[in-house]
């Protein structure tokens, strides 16, 4: 695929990995085959595509990569029954972070889109024109553009509502090297100003 694009266009400036499969199973119900298939499509394909375009983008000192993550991979959702899908989408966040750090000095920016859209795997009934997949496209277009100002960020798009996610520390403390589990528990559950 990469060779065909290069033959036709001479270079690759952007890669968007959005392939996905999902099985609605919690960890106890998912079979090994379902897990392996989910990981192959949602995780391994992204890895190998990035691996294939990485030397090209580095040598041209320019590139944009957009991976696809999900709320299921980024946060706790009560009642979720998509364990393998969640793992695969969380892996996109890790791959984004690794490549964003590696690529910045080479002009390669790597971000992720977190789409909330009523696609064929969406289970909730939606109203007409609600959570249209097309409403995610402007965000992806911005992330692959020369004007994209950042790397290592997640852009969440949900029916016209936009958020930028990036992991940051909420709070911190120096409890010392001899802190006990109880010290950590008190600090974690009783924030002080």
Residue 170: per-residue pLDDT = 76
Go through the domains of the chain in sequence order and give each one's CATH number.
2-189 (3.40.50.720)
How far the first Cα of the chain sits from its last, in Å, is: 55
Q: List, in order, residues 6 or more apart from 34 with CB less than 8 Å away.
A: 23, 25, 84
Q: List, in order, residues 6 or more apart from 58 with CB less than 8 Å away.
A: 103, 106, 108
Residue 150: per-residue pLDDT = 95
Residue count of the chain: 193
In terms of Cα–Cα distance, which of 146, 131, 20, 133 is closest to 84? 20
Query: Distance (Å, rounded) from C-alpha 118 to C-alpha 5?
Result: 30
pTM: 0.86
Both tokens of residue 34?
């379902």
Residue 117: per-residue pLDDT = 66
Q: Which of 24, 35, 62, 85 is labelled catalytic?
A: 85
Q: Are 147 and 118 in contact (CB under 8 A)?
A: no
Question: CA–CA distance from 26 to each of 4, 41, 61 (Å)?
Answer: 39, 19, 43
pLDDT digit string (tens) for the chain, length 193 residues: 899 999 999 999 999 998 888 877 788 888 899 999 999 999 999 999 999 999 999 999 999 999 999 887 787 677 777 888 889 999 999 999 999 999 999 999 999 999 876 666 666 666 676 666 778 899 999 999 999 999 999 999 888 889 898 887 778 889 999 999 999 999 889 876 4
Per-residue DSSP letter, 60: H
Residue 21: per-residue pLDDT = 81
Residue 120: per-residue pLDDT = 60
Residue 14: per-residue pLDDT = 97
Residue 184: per-residue pLDDT = 92
Q: For 133, list phi and psi in degrees, rounded to 5.
A: -55, -35
Q: Is 165 a catalytic residue?
A: no
Residue 123: per-residue pLDDT = 61
Query: Distance (Å, rounded) from C-alpha 193 to C-alpha 102?
Result: 36
């Amino acid at each position: 695929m990469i060779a065909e694009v290069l033959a036709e266009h001479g270079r690759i400036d952007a890669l968007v990995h959005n392939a996905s499969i999902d099985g609605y199973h919690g960890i106890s119900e998912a079979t090994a085959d379902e897990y392996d298939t989910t990981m192959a499509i949602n995780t391994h394909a992204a890895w190998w595509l990035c691996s294939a375009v990485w030397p090209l983008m580095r040598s041209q000192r320019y590139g944009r990569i957009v991976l696809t993550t999900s709320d299921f991979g980024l946060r706790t959702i009560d009642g979720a029954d998509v364990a393998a899908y969640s793992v695969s989408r969380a892996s996109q966040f890790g791959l984004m972070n690794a490549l964003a750090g590696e690529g910045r000095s080479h002009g390669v920016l790597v971000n992720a889109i977190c789409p909330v859209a009523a696609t064929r795997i969406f289970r909730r009934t939606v109203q007409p024109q609600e959570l249209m997949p097309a409403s995610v496209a402007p965000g992806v277009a911005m992330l692959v553009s020369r004007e994209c100002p950042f790397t290592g960020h997640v852009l969440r798009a949900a029916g016209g509502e936009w958020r930028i996610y990036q992991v940051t520390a909420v709070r911190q403390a120096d409890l010392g090297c001899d802190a006990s589990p109880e010290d950590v528990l008190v600090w974690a559950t009783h924030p002080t100003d």
